[in-house]
Amino acid sequence: MEYRELGKTGLKVSRMGFGGIPIQRTDAEETKKIMEKLAAEGINYIDTARGYTVSEEYLGYGLEGIRDQFVLATKSMARTKEAMAKDVEISLKNLRTDYIDLYQIHNPSMEQLEQVTGPDGALEALMEAKAQGKIGHIGLTAHSTAVFEKALDLDWVETIMFPYNIVENQGEALMKACEEKGIGFIDMKPLAGGAIENPKLALKYVLSNPSVTVAIPGMGSVEELEQNLEVCQNTIKITEEERAEMAAIREKLGNSFCRRCGYCAPCTVGIDITNTFLFAGYLERYDLAEWAKNRYSALKVKASACIGCGKCEERCPYHLPIREMLKKCAKDFGE
Ligand code: SF4
Ligand code: SF4
């Protein structure tokens, strides 16, 4: 296993980490088995979030007695000081620890970033938690390149998490800048949220980029972990045949894969387009179908409400046929 310094944090992390979304569909016992296997294999980076329902709690159970072998990272969507202070306490309790290595501001928009860093913003709570020794470092996660670019100039940002995979390489230049500035780059969605059907190839692609400090594929079973480990244990050299396969994946997904940049918003009737497509992606993956349906059912405005005005498509930089895609979502989800 290859290890890297996580930017200037001084933390040494394995290049493959563990993404904590899929354990929501398993249970605490399976999570424990995965944690034990991670420890045995020297994979030491764990990512979760306050928003991943039971993920922090399962991890807290699974890490009992071995927590010190890991760099533990979580994140919160809280934007105010008060809400963030509360979330830090909940994370500590859920994760059954008195110290979280990395706490991240989870996916703020440009406007929310202003709020987070302003008076009584969430950053103040993280700074206090850091001074009190409850957390070690502060990072930020983003889906839009605008927020990523802005984050590079914020002196409190020690790590940035951003999607990067075979079909989402819009952040490549910023990743390079990240590396040059000594900011740790955490690659979320290395498998494009499950859209890439060849996980080994997907992982190989991201780990072959030196700007990626750590990639965090989501794993919900020991079998999935074993599959990913095979990639990390071999020399990461991409063959011509694999390059051709990657080009074919890009070709296939390029015109239908939502990068979750959010530029299409706001929808005229209030459809949450990015999350609708995200949940539709998970629906296609058998194992997360129930989770996707639950999440989708919580959306206030369903895909079927689209009136076909086309405003969103004018704003989508990838020229996705959003109206057609929403029709499919409405059919697949049945509403
Ligand atoms: S085409 Fe549909 S999804 Fe797009 S803005 Fe109009 S109503 Fe919203
Ligand atoms: S539909 Fe287009 S604009 Fe909207 S989030 Fe997806 S990729 Fe971005």
- Tens-digit pLDDT profile for residues 273-291: 999 998 898 887 656 788 8
Is residue 73 within 6 Å of ligand 1 at its C-beta?
A: no
Task: Give the per-residue pLDDT at 221.
Answer: 93
Structure tokens at 99: 């110290």
**What value does the mean pLDDT take over residues 211-216?**
97
Q: Residue 234: name the closest of 209, 203, 197 by CA.
A: 203
Q: What is the pLDDT of residues 112-170, one digit of tens each?
A: 999 999 999 999 999 999 999 999 999 999 988 899 999 999 999 999 999 999 988 88
- The confidence band for 262, taking pLDDT boundaries of 50, 70 and 90, is confident
Does residue 261 surpass a pLDDT of 80? no
What is the C-alpha to C-alpha distance for residues 188 and 229, in angstroms, rounded to an integer?
A: 17
Is residue 262 within 6 Å of ligand 2 at its C-beta?
A: yes
Which ligand 1 atom minimizes the distance to the CA of 311? 5
Between residues 261 and 290, which one has the greater pLDDT?
290
Ligand with the closest atom to the CA of 264: 2
Does residue 193 surpass a pLDDT of 80? no
Does residue 182 surpass a pLDDT of 80? yes
**What value does the mean pLDDT take over residues 72-98?**
98
Ligand with the closest atom to the CA of 315: 2
C-alpha of residue 305 to centroid of ligand 1, in Å: 8
**What value does the mean pLDDT take over residues 179-184?**
96
Does residue 241 surpass a pLDDT of 90? yes
Task: Give the per-residue pLDDT at 286.
Answer: 53
**What value does the mean pLDDT take over residues 257-274?**
89
Q: Are 156 and 134 in contact (CB under 8 A)?
A: no
C-alpha of residue 262 to centroid of ligand 1, in Å: 13
Q: Residue 167: name the closest of 142, 202, 200, 199 by CA.
A: 202
Which ligand 1 atom minimizes the distance to the CA of 307? 7
Task: Give the per-residue pLDDT at 66.
Answer: 98
Task: Give the per-residue pLDDT at 172.
Answer: 94
Share of the chain above pLDDT 70, in %: 99
Does residue 334 surpass a pLDDT of 90? yes
Task: Give the per-residue pLDDT at 255.
Answer: 76
C-alpha of residue 276 to centroid of ligand 2, in Å: 11
Task: Give the per-residue pLDDT at 95.
Answer: 98
Is residue 323 within 6 Å of ligand 2 at its C-beta?
A: no
**Tally of CA atoms within 13 A in the half-sphere of 223 that contains its CB:** 1
Task: Give the per-residue pLDDT at 114.
Answer: 96
**Taking all residues of the chain, what is their mean pLDDT, rounded to a whole number?**
93
Instruction: Quote the DSSP letter at residue 298.
Output: T
Residue nearest (by alpha carbon) to ligand 2 atom 6: 258
Range scoring the smallest mean pLDDT among 44-53, 114-123, 133-142, 250-259 = 250-259
User: Helix %, strand %, coil % for the chain, to 5?
Assistant: 50, 15, 40
Q: Specify the pairing of strand 12-14 against strand 18-19.
A: unpaired
Task: Give the per-residue pLDDT at 197.
Answer: 81
**What value does the mean pLDDT take over residues 42-70?**
96
Task: Give the per-residue pLDDT at 171.
Answer: 92
C-alpha of residue 274 to centroid of ligand 2, in Å: 6
3-state secondary structure of 212: coil
Residue nearest (by alpha carbon) to ligand 1 atom 8: 267
- The confidence band for 24, taking pLDDT boundaries of 50, 70 and 90, is confident
**What value does the mean pLDDT take over residues 211-226?**
94
Per the rule left: phi > 0, alpha: psi between -120 and 50, beta: everything else, 257 is: beta
Does residue 45 surpass a pLDDT of 60? yes
Is residue 269 within 6 Å of ligand 1 at its C-beta?
A: yes
Ligand with the closest atom to the CA of 326: 1
Is residue 156 within 6 Å of ligand 2 at its C-beta?
A: no
Is residue 280 within 6 Å of ligand 2 at its C-beta?
A: no
Task: Give the per-residue pLDDT at 176.
Answer: 97
Is residue 326 within 6 Å of ligand 1 at its C-beta?
A: yes
What is the C-alpha to C-alpha distance for residues 178 and 152, in angstroms, rounded to an integer?
A: 7
